[in-house]
Amino acid sequence: MKNALQKFGKFLSAMVMPNIGAFIAWGFITALFIPAGWLPNEKLAAIQPYMLFYLLPVLIAYTGGKMVGGARGGVIGAIAVMGAVAGVGGTDGQPMLMGAMIMGPLAGWVIKKFDQFMEDKMPAGFEMLINNFSVGILGMLLAIFGSYIMSPLMTAIMNVLTAGVNALVSAHLLPLAAIFIEPAKVLFLNNAINHGIFTPIGATQVEAAGKSIMYMLEANPGPGLGVLLAYMFFAKDKTTKQSAPGAIIIHFLGGIHEIYFPYVLMNPIVIIAPIVGNIVAIAFYSIFNVGLVGPSSPGSIIAFLSVAPRDQIILVLAGVLIAAAVSFLVASPIIRFTDKGGSLEDAQADMSAMKAEAKGQKTVSAGTVKNPGDIKMIIFACDAGMGSSAMGATKFRNRIKAIRPDITVKNTSVDNIPAACDIAVVQTILADRARKSCPGAQIVEIGNFLADPALDNLFMQISTGDTMVTAAPEKEDIVEKVTKPDVFTKEGILLNQKAATKEEAIRQAGQLLVDRGCVDPSYIDAMLEREKIVTTYMGMGLAIPHGTTQAKGTVKKTGIVFVQYPDGVPFGDEKAQLVFGIAGIGDEHLDMLAKVANALDDEKVIEKMKTTNDVNWILKQLS
C-alpha cells in the first residue's frame, strides 16, 4: 500500500518537478508586475495569465505524455490538453493544471498502444506518413474529448476542491491538514503532496485572489527546523548531535526537507513536533490572510520569501519562525526524555535488519559490494531526484573521484535508476522501489546523507576492496578517536625506490608497516593474498595494498605508509608510482584516505608527488 501510494505520488509530482522553473518564472512575474506587486507594470503583468492558462498545462501534459509514450507521447499530450484548455474558455476559465495531469498520460498511453498495435503491421515506406498522421488524428480526437468531456469534468472537480478549501478556511479547520501533511512528508510523499495537489489548487486561488495559502502548507521550512534544533541541543548520541547543524543549513537554506526525515523516523513520536508546529503556522497564516504568489520549490527560506507578496513578507517570515519555535518546544522534551542515546545510524541499521528478517533474509549494516573493481556507475536516488540525492551524489563524487576516477556518480529519482547502474544508494524507506526500478543493481540503504556508516563502508570497499566493520565504540575507543593518533609520519615515507614487480613493492610497503609497529610480519602475506583476489591499483599511478579482512587480527595499530617509485611498478597493464600501504583498526584510517583523495584532486600535486625528494612536502600534503 505504502509503495503504491509513493509510486502514484511520484508519478504526479514527476510531471510537475521538471517544469518547476516555469512555475517559478510565472510566480516571479506575478509577484513583481501585478498591480499589488513590487514593480507594477500592466504590460508585463499581461504575460502572467498566458503562462498560467497555456504554457504550464502544455508543459505538464507534454511531460506526462512523454513519461508514458516517449517523445510521440509528449507531442500528443500537448495537443490533447489544448482541447481541455479551450473548453474552459482559455484565460476566462480555470487553469487546467490537474486536467493536464490526466490528459498528458492518457494521450501518451493511447499513442503507445497504437504503436504497439502497428509494430508488425507497418507497410515499408509508409512509416513517416503513418507516424505523423497517427499523432495528428489521435491528438485531434483527444483534444475534442478534452474540450467536451475533460474540461467540464475537471472544472467541476476544481470547483469542489476549491469550495472545500474555502470551507475549511471559513471553519478555521485548515490547520488540521498538518496532521496528514507531516507524516506523509517523512514517508517521502512531500513532492507528490506539494506539486501534485497543492500547486494546481494554489494556481487557481492566485488567479482569483493574487495569492494562495496552499503553497505554504507543505513547503514551510519551520517545522523541520525546530526538530533539527532540538536534536542539536538535546540528542544524547554525539554523532547525531554533531550532524544536526549541517542538516539545518541544508534544510533551511538549501530547501532539502528530506534531510530531517531520518531524525523523525529514528524516534517516531517526534512527529508530533512538526505537526503541532505546522498547525500553529497554518492557523497564523489563516488568521492574517497570508499566502504566496507562486510555489516555493525547493522549500528553502530563500525561495519561500522570494514568492511572498510585497506587503506580507514580514508575516510570511513570522509564520516560519513560529513554526520552528513551536516545533522546537514540542520536540525538545520528547528528545530529552525518550532519547536512549541511540544514534541515527544505529536506528537505520536496526530498521534494515528488521526489514530483512521479516523477508527471511540475512543482512549486514552496510552491505558487501561484489567485485568492487568492476563498479563503474553509482546512482544516488531519492523520491524526486533533485534534492537529497543531488547532495549525496556531489559529496560522494568529490570523495571518490581522485581514487576511482573510472566510477561515474550521478543522482536521479528512485523510479528512474538507469539500467547500467551497479550500485544504487537510497534511503531505506525507498529501497523496495529502487529494487523494482533497477533489479540488477546492488542497493545500499542509508539513513543520513551527512554521516552514514553505509556510505563510509561503500567508500572503503570501492577504494580498497575491504569491508569496514562498524560497531558501537567502547569508552576507550572514544578517547582514542578524540586523541587522533598519528597514522602517518615521516618514518612511514620512502622516496626514490625501485621494484621490479608489484609483489616486491607490496612487500616493501608491508615491511614498512611492520617496522613502524603497526602489524605482525604475517600481515605482509595477507597483503599479497589480497592482491590475488582483486588488484589494489586504483588508477592515476596509485595503488593501495592492504591485508585481507581475515588478517585484521594481526593489526596492532592503525598506520599508513607511503612508498614512491619514480620509474613505476607494473600492476597488471598499468604502472604505479605511488604506493600507500594500509593497516587499519576500525575506521581510524578513513580520515587519512580522505586526505589522500583530497591531495590527489590536483594533478600538479600528483605529478610532483611521483618525483619529489621533499619528505616534509609530502607530509604536509597528507596531513
Q: Which positions are annotated as active-site residues?
A: 382, 546
**Per-residue 3-state assignment (H helix, E strand, C coil) for 391-427:** HHHHHHHHHHCCCCCCCEEEEEEHHHCCCCCCEEEEE
CA of 73: how far to CAs of 22, 63, 97, 495, 498, in Å? 21, 9, 18, 63, 63
CB 175 within 8 A of CB 282: yes
Task: Name every residue whose Cβ is closer than 8 Å to that of residue 621 and which is 6 or more positions away in sequence.
Answer: 599, 605, 609
CB 146 within 8 A of CB 84: yes
DSSP notation for 425-484: EEEGGGHHHHHHH-TTSEEEEES-SSS-HHHHHHHHHHHHSPPPP--PPPHHHHHHHHH-
CB atoms within 10 A of CB 473: 14
Instruction: Give the 3-state secondary structure of residue 267.
Output: coil
Task: Name every residue whose Cβ is closer than 8 Å to that of residue 453 and which is 6 or more positions away in sequence.
Answer: 345, 349, 365, 366, 468, 470
CB atoms within 10 A of CB 113: 12
CA of 556: how far to CAs of 45, 514, 543, 591, in Å? 73, 10, 22, 18
Task: Return the bridge partners of 556, or none.
Answer: none
Instruction: Give the 3-state secondary structure of residue 571.
Output: strand
CB 328 within 8 A of CB 230: yes
Q: Distance (Å, rounded) from C-alpha 256 to C-alpha 299? A: 7
Laid out side by side, the sheet with 408-413 consists of 408-413, 377-382, 423-427, 442-446
Q: Distance (Å, rounded) from C-alpha 162 to C-alpha 170? A: 12
Q: DSSP class of residue 101?
A: H
Task: Return the bridge partners of 443, or none.
Answer: 424
CB 258 within 8 A of CB 383: yes
Q: Determine whether 140 is exposed, middle or buried from the number of CB atoms within 10 Å of its CB (0-12, 13-18, 19+).
A: middle
State yes or no: cis peptide before 439, omega within 30 of 0.
no
Write out the three cell numbers for 355: 526489514
Q: What are phi and psi of 577, to 5 degrees?
A: -100, -20
Task: Return the bridge partners of 494, or none.
Answer: 563
Nearest to 206 by CA among 320, 106, 291, 96: 291
Amino acid at 461: Q
Q: What are phi and psi of 173, to 5 degrees?
A: -105, -5
Which residue's C-alpha cell is 505520488? Answer: 9
